[in-house]
Structure 1
Amino acid sequence: MILKLEDFNYNLPEELIAQEPSANRDESRLMVLFRDNPQIEHRRFNNLVEYLKPGDVLVINDTKVMPARLYGLKDTGATVEVLLLKQLDGNRWETLVKPGRKARIGTTLTFAGGKLTGLVAGDTEAGGRVIDFLYQGSFVEILEQIGIMPLPPYIKKIPADPGRYQTVYANRFGSAAAPTAGLHFTDQLLDKIKDLGVEIVPVLLHVGLDTFRPVKVENIREHRMHSEYYEISAGVADKINAAKARGGRIIAVGTTTTRCLESSAGDDGRLKTGSGWTKIFIYPGYRFKIIDGLITNFHLPCSTLIMLVSALSGRDKILEAYNTAVKKKVQIF
């Protein structure tokens, strides 16, 4: 069976793409879908506690977004934009460069008057560039001084507080974009969830290129994902496996968490510990081994993310929910 790209399309009016978050993180709108019936409920995010039960495990992705967008100059004096995607080895990074066709191997790049320099050392399979960086001191501190938060292309308004593009539990530096489903949690809401008897555990997946790269093939099975780094500790794997054994539900916060968990799932339905690079592509027909529920934002038409949520709840149900939000004129991002 061919799964066509157009099968995951829907009408998204530009005015419904929210350009700034709710004043309070946990007061965003919440649409609740049930896998076993067609009911749709419209709530607020802080009502989430009503849908969780003692014994459930809520799994979060504690990656932290880098201020990964850099503006600098080539050795010719021309301006250049560099987006850091992932650290390869030491000071070598995989990046996206604009204009890329003029950033040839051997080109020297200078940022912030020489505070950071880079040498284009190679090309990547995905059309990016490998850059070797030179600097004095801490690379992270330099990025925090000169880098810019890489907002999604559909967000045109730069947030007054860049911290709103980090989750309250962000911990491990390395993502090129935020795991956005987690942006709606507050410390107070997390405390309520814990008090309910729900265990909250962290995994790691550094968000990379596929957040920015559209699907371009008509038959989606031919799409190839970019690799992203993930980690699952032995303690977290043990807690999730124990919960599943006693009948508890595993609720993933976001598609990144989902991809992390399902990448490390055994055929026996048990979660394995470890770390590595994943290219997992989840679309309808996939059999989920770990998660029972998913907290996620709305996603762009024809994206790998809408394909993932369609695999969990069914394409027709997901598109019905999206079209319902559009009809209600809900700002859905």
Structure 2
Amino acid sequence: MKLSQFKFDLPEKFIAQEPLATRHESRLLVVHRKERRIEHKMFKDVLDIFDEDDLFVVNNTRVFTARMYGQKEKTGAKIEVFLLRELNHDLRLWDVLVDPARKIRVGNKLYFGDDDLVAEVVDNTTSRGRTIRFLFDGTDEEFSNVVKKLGETPIPKYITRGVKEEDEHWYQSLFAKNVGAVAAPAAQLHITRELQMRMDIKGIKFAEVTLHLGLGAFREVEVEDLTKHKMDSEYYRIEQEACDLVNETISSKKRVVAVGGSVMRALESSVSSMGTLNVGEGWTDKFLFPPKGFHIADAFITNLHQPESPLFMMACAYTEHKFMTEVYQEAMKEDYRFLCYGDAMLIL
């Protein structure tokens, strides 16, 4: 398929700038693939939709303070540095994006805070991409604390109000434990402690996988021929416990629910030829767009996404392109809230 087939107009008024006070009170657009029909519910209604021994697979990645602001040596120019991933732990080498990029060249030094942290640019990777080395002699814990102090929650730029203190909590999943993401697994932000407890009581199970979200699912697709688009690689890990839960659910003919695109990518990166889940760890650049097939998940929970984005394409692949385009038009007609702080969609 072509990039232009995923274009639609998304007025800014639909982009949620803050989450609801009670996250499980978000709206839930339920999409029935086979019957090609939709229902309008609330996220907490998953309690009525799913049964005992159904399995929700969630991502336990944790977002860190990836957006930092430094000053260029000599000129003092303000530079945004967005940490993407650590390339070499011992050398403190990082893959980053810088803005404005035209001012940053190999050999430049950047100063953060009151010279709490200094970095040197060692390579150009893309038009905005750089490899930098932090010049820091302290322990790993001390380095992490400095980054946390100097950085801010990396909420997306489509949230135009600026970062609030509350974003540190709002932009973190209930299941967050393994640090490494620069974007939140938005679909599971709707799962509150209260809702999880009620799901536990009903006998709905949870399995955890790890996929550290980079900018892969959010970076703009620039080629019309989607087969030529290259996703950024993201680290994932699926352990034996999660495999056992998923495969037992499949064998007992209960439902496996992928909560978010990052979970779907992790599952599809470690599927066996028998349609079961394998233990796996590594880097995935899996790009799920029509007419790609899916092998593990019986249901998919996702938010409402931007036009021409890999996440919108994944929703189209899991259903059918024309029908999903109609679903999105219905969502706007019904004033659903889009993107990471918005409402959710359940595809059955």
Counterpart residue number, 2:125: 124
Render the CA deviation track for 1:72-115: whole Å, top value 9, x for unaligned: 11113221110000111111111101122321111111101111
Instruction: Name the SS for the 1:221 alignment partner.
Output: helix
Shift of 1:285: 1.4
CA distance in 2, matches of 1:212, 1:321: 21
Q: Which is worse superposed, 203-212 or 253-262? A: 203-212
* 2:14 paired residue number: 16
- Out of 326, 330, 333, the position equivalent to 1:327 is 333
Q: In 1, Cα distance between the equivalents of 2:164 and 2:301?
A: 23
Hey, what's the Cα distance between the residues in 1 that align with 2:218 and 2:88? 23
Does structure 2 conserve the Cα–Cα contact (< 8 Å) formed by 1:20 and 1:159? no
Pick from 232, 251, 254: which aligns with 1:248? Answer: 254
Give the secondary-structure state (helix, strand or coil) at the position aligned to 1:209: coil
Which amino acid in 2 is paired with 1:266? S
- Residues 200-209 or 10-19, more deviating: 10-19
Q: Which residue of 1 aligns with 2:46?
A: 48
CA contact (8 A) 1:232 1:274 kept: yes
2:187 equivalent in structure 1: 181
- Identify the residue that residue 105 of structure 1 maps to in structure 2: 106
In structure 2, how many angstroms separate the alpha carbons of the residues matched to 1:88 and 1:40? 44
Deviations 1:132-164 (A, max 9, x none): 112334222112211011111211123441201
Separation in structure 1 between the aligned mates of residue 26 and residue 270 of structure 2, nearest angstrom: 31
* 152 and 204 in structure 1: CA distance in 2 versus 1, 3 angstrom threshold: same
Amino acid at match of 2:272: G
Match in the other structure for 1:301? 307
Displacement of 1:317 after TM fit? 1.8
C-alpha distance in structure 2 between counterparts of 1:108 and 1:237, whole Å:
45
CA distance, structure 2, for counterparts of residue 198 and residue 10 of structure 1: 36
**For 2:218 and 2:331, how far apart are their aligned partners in 1?**
24
- 1:311 maps to 317
SS of match in other structure, 2:94: strand
SS in 2 for 1:150: coil
Percentage identity across aligned positions? Answer: 39
Distance apart, 1:188 and its partner CA:
1.1
The match for 1:208 is 214
Q: CA deviation at 1:48?
A: 1.2
SS of equivalent to 2:199: helix
1:153 equivalent to 2:157? Answer yes
Distance across 1 between alignment mates of 2:121 and 2:217: 23
Matches within 5 A, 1:283-302: 283-302=289-308
**Contact kept? 1:249, 1:292, Cα under 8 Å:** yes
Aligned AA (2:213): V
Q: 1:127 Cα deviation (Å)?
A: 4.6
Question: Secondary structure of 2:276's match?
Answer: coil
User: Residues 26-65 of structure 1: CA distance to partner in whole angstroms, max 9, x if unpaired?
Assistant: 1111110112112211111111111112221100001111
Contact 2:54 2:256 in 1 (8 A): yes
Q: Provide the aligned length of Structure 1 versus Structure 2.
A: 331
CA distance, structure 2, for counterparts of residue 166 and residue 235 of structure 1: 23
Quote how far apart the aligned CAs of 1:214 are: 0.5
Distance 2:93 2:218 in 1: 21
Q: Which amino acid aligns with 1:268?
A: M
Is the Cα contact below 8 Å between 2:183 and 2:215 reproduced in 1? no
Distance in 2 separating the partners of 1:284 and 1:126: 29
- Please tell me whether the aligned partners of residues 25 and 42 of structure 2 are also in contact (alpha carbons under 8 angstroms): yes
**Residues of 1 paired with 2:211 and 2:251: CA distance?**
25
The reply on whether 1:234 has 2:240 as its aligned counterpart is yes
The root-mean-square deviation of aligned C-alpha atoms, in Å, is 1.4
Aligned equivalents of 2:218 and 2:39: distance in 1?
31
The answer on 1:79 being equivalent to 2:78 is yes
Q: Structure 2 regions of 5+ residues with no counterpart? A: 343-348
Deviation digits for residues 10-31 of structure 1 (CA, Å, limit 9, x no counterpart): 2211111111110111111111
Deviation of the 1:126 alpha carbon: 7.1
Match for residue 59 of structure 2?
61
**Offset of residue 125 of structure 1:** 5.0
Deviation at 1:329, TM superposition (A): 2.4
TM-score (norm 1): 0.96
TM-score relative to the length of structure 2: 0.92
State how far apart, in whole Å, the 1-side matches of 2:16 and 2:78 are: 30
**Residue 279 in structure 1 maps to residue 285 in structure 2:** yes
Q: What code does the residue aligned with 1:174 have?
A: G
CA distance in 2, matches of 1:124, 1:58: 38
- Residues 239, 275 of structure 1: alpha-carbon distance in 2 compared, 3 angstrom cutoff: same
What is the Cα deviation at residue 211 of structure 1? Answer: 4.1
2:345 alignment counterpart? none
